[in-house]
């Protein structure tokens, strides 16, 4: 499956995305971003809307596609992401055990995604 195919799945699921560099630094790929209020490239417009099909095609459809980063908050249906990078192998299992103790079966309703650094992201949507 291509990066564009993956991006379109997220967008169709109501998640706004930002193109990021593929160097692992998680920085927006500013050279391809839409213009912000000052006319300079910015990911701010994607805080309130989903990428268009044309933008998705430009960012993720070519031979060297950008990476994908989700925009949390209202633009993505109140998406929140908990990021476990540092000491993930130790901290994440303890976090899961604590959550299961406090809210049994909650972990069945969240998405757990491997991150580019060795790590894990927990994706969930919150009310309002």
pTM: 0.84
Sorted by sequence, the CB contacts under 8 Å of residue 89 that are 6+ apart come out as: none
Tens of pLDDT, residue by residue over 75-102, are 999 999 999 988 899 999 999 999 999 9
Angle, alpha carbons 19-54-35 (nearest 5°): 60
Using one digit for the tens of pLDDT, what is the confidence trace for 107-118? 999 999 888 778
């Amino acid at each position: 499956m291509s990066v564009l195919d993956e991006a379109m799945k997220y967008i169709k699921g109501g998640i706004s995305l930002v193109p990021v560099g593929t160097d692992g630094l998680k920085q927006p790929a500013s050279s391809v971003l839409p213009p912000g209020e000052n006319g300079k490239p910015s990911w701010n417009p994607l805080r309130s809307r989903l990428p268009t099909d044309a933008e998705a095609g430009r960012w993720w459809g070519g031979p060297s596609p950008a990476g994908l980063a989700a925009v949390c908050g209202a633009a993505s249906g109140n998406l929140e992401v908990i990021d476990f990078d540092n000491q993930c192998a130790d901290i994440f299992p303890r976090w899961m055990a604590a959550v299961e103790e406090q809210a049994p079966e909650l972990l069945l309703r969240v998405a757990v995604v491997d991150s580019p650094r060795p790590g894990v992201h927990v994706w969930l949507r919150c009310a309002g």
